[in-house]
Structure 1
Amino acid sequence: MNRQSMLPATARAVRVVAHRGASHEHPEHTLAAYRQAIADGADALECDVRLTADHKLVCVHDRRVERTSDGRGVVSEMTYAELSALDFGAWKGAGHAGARVLLFEDLLREALAAPRPVGLAVETKHPTRAGGRLEAELVRMLGEYGLADGSTGRVEVMSFSRNALVRTHRLAPGLPTVFLIEHRVRPVRPPYATHAGPGIDLVRRDPGLVARLKAKGLSVRVWTVDEPQDVELCVRLGVDTIITNRPKQVREQLEAR
């Protein structure tokens, strides 16, 4: 164990990752949300990725588009052109109307163009009709930008699916992977996972989970942490990364400590 890992949580830097961008203020997965997150000091940008019917990698959380757009349909059954015709901003309010579906490549370029190093935490969504093609396309895209070997430390891949993590490792052994946990309390380290991502509800119910995960050699990213008392809990437990819809407020709270 190195010296840094033994320091109290208040003495260590806690990473702040913007969940779908600064999504409390802007529609999730939009350039406005991600640009705001960068301006707010987020260390990394979290996104969900799916494949369209014509194999474009897009940033959309839900299987269907009804919640976040003015359209109807299943993402995997729609072409990129069909998705581009929808408004992905109006649901957040009139002031956000006109936002279009975001290509993962455009988000990647935005992160790389930031005035300081900004990482990406990419969740591959399963189950999906794309199956393993989703991870294959993601790794291919990262390879085009020299990010697939993990040497830059700019990208990590997350999933609730163990199979997805195994596929990612086989395609890009150097990429860090995060095993997301929503309901499972007993920590079991899946093959190739380097980080664990429990939800804040789970951490509240079982605070000792963080220590047990760390004992298995996993660093811990907790989602989605928006309330000040939950930020304090995460710091007290020694969480390494906080994933939040409110990156500015969380960053300010951490700096105030």
Structure 2
Amino acid sequence: MPTPWPYPFWIAHRGAGKQAPENTLAAFRLGAQHGWRMFECDVKLSADGVPFLLHDNTLERTTHGHGVAGERPWSELAQLDAGSWHSRAYAGEPIPTLENLARWCLMNRHHLDIEIKPTPGAEERTGQVVAALAARLWLNAEAPPLLTSFRPESLLGAMTAAPQLPRGLLLDILWDGWLNHARQLQCVAIVCNHALWDTALVSQVKALGMKCLSYTVNDEWAAERLIALGTDGIVSDRVDLFAPC
């Protein structure tokens, strides 16, 4: 577990939330222009094993491609337009690889929360490949990336491939057994839908030595509630609203 906790409190969701096309380098640059120093991204594998940034299983929403992204080779994915869906200003923006983003983060001393977002059926392998690459890219960095996932299998793959990298379990509900999984996976953080946090849950997680992070917080009242609860990090789309410290 990193000691002390090396990450900023504020984390920009998919680069710059909704102000630029999510999970593109343009989005991360825009978030940085607003003063944010830590970013969240979604990473999955191409058919030939290249870790790249995309949230959905399919290509239609954020590119002009079609079908399951993980069934396409990187040579095909690299040609897609991932910006026009957002606005004309970003037409032609490509899908980045994790390595593209890592080099940008390292050059600018930014922190990264890598959400492992596997194509169904590739959960453990995606965790293994992403973690192994992250370990190599951040080998001499001051702070490693935080590897998070909703899928325990992906976190298991990450732990197997690079046990030294910190891991966090993402939760949209408090499903049966989540805490045991977090312990077994040696997680350093629990990343919850922000509405799940209350005094009791914060105390329970912190008593186990884990940090309490929240997604996706876009309203001031919600951020104020989480700060009052003593949580440790907020993921937000609103790079234009909050002033990260």
Cα offset, 1:232, TM superposition: 0.6
* Equivalent-residue separation in structure 1 for 2:64 and 2:119 (angstroms): 24
Matched, 1:210 2:202: yes
* Equivalent-residue separation in structure 2 for 1:65 and 1:51 (angstroms): 13
2:15 aligns to what SS in structure 1? Answer: coil
In structure 1, the residue matched to 2:20 is 26
In structure 1, the residue matched to 2:132 is 140
Letter in 1 for 2:84: A
In structure 1, the residue matched to 2:159 is 169
Matched, 1:188 2:182: no
In structure 2, the residue matched to 1:79 is 73
Cα offset, 1:167, TM superposition: 2.3
* Equivalent-residue separation in structure 1 for 2:189 and 2:82 (angstroms): 31
Matched, 1:223 2:215: yes
Query: Which stretches in structure 1 are left out of the alignment for 5+ residues?
Result: 6-12
In structure 1, the residue matched to 2:103 is 109
RMSD, aligned CA: 2.3
Q: Deviations over 1:28-61 (max 9, x none)?
A: 0011100111222223111111101121110001
Letter in 2 for 1:199: N
Cα offset, 1:105, TM superposition: 0.4
1:198 aligns to what SS in structure 2? Answer: strand
In the superposition, the TM-score normalised over structure 2's length comes to 0.88
1:92 aligns to what SS in structure 2? Answer: coil
State whether residues 16 and 237 of structure 2, in contact with CA within 8 Å, keep that contact through their aligned partners in structure 1.
Answer: yes
Cα offset, 1:251, TM superposition: 2.1
State whether residues 57 and 137 of structure 1, in contact with CA within 8 Å, keep that contact through their aligned partners in structure 2.
Answer: yes
Q: Are residues 230 and 110 of structure 1, via their aligned partners in 2, closer, same or farther at CA, if it must alter by over 3 Å? A: same
Cα offset, 1:127, TM superposition: 5.2
* Equivalent-residue separation in structure 2 for 1:201 and 1:102 (angstroms): 31
In structure 1, the residue matched to 2:150 is 160
State whether residues 169 and 175 of structure 1, in contact with CA within 8 Å, keep that contact through their aligned partners in structure 2.
Answer: yes
In structure 1, the residue matched to 2:169 is 179
Cα offset, 1:18, TM superposition: 0.9
1:188 aligns to what SS in structure 2? Answer: helix
Query: Which stretches in structure 2 are left out of the alignment for 5+ residues?
Result: none
Letter in 2 for 1:133: R
- The runs of at least 4 consecutive aligned structure 1 residues that moved more than 4 Å come to none
Which of 54, 60, 67 aligns to 1:60? It is 54
Identity fraction in percent: 30
Cα offset, 1:163, TM superposition: 2.2
State whether residues 16 and 247 of structure 1, in contact with CA within 8 Å, keep that contact through their aligned partners in structure 2.
Answer: no
Cα offset, 1:110, TM superposition: 0.6
Cα offset, 1:76, TM superposition: 0.9
Matched, 1:199 2:193: yes
Query: How many aligned residue pairs are there?
Result: 237
* Equivalent-residue separation in structure 2 for 1:210 and 1:14 (angstroms): 18
State whether residues 122 and 156 of structure 1, in contact with CA within 8 Å, keep that contact through their aligned partners in structure 2.
Answer: yes
Letter in 2 for 1:180: L
* Equivalent-residue separation in structure 2 for 1:216 and 1:249 (angstroms): 33
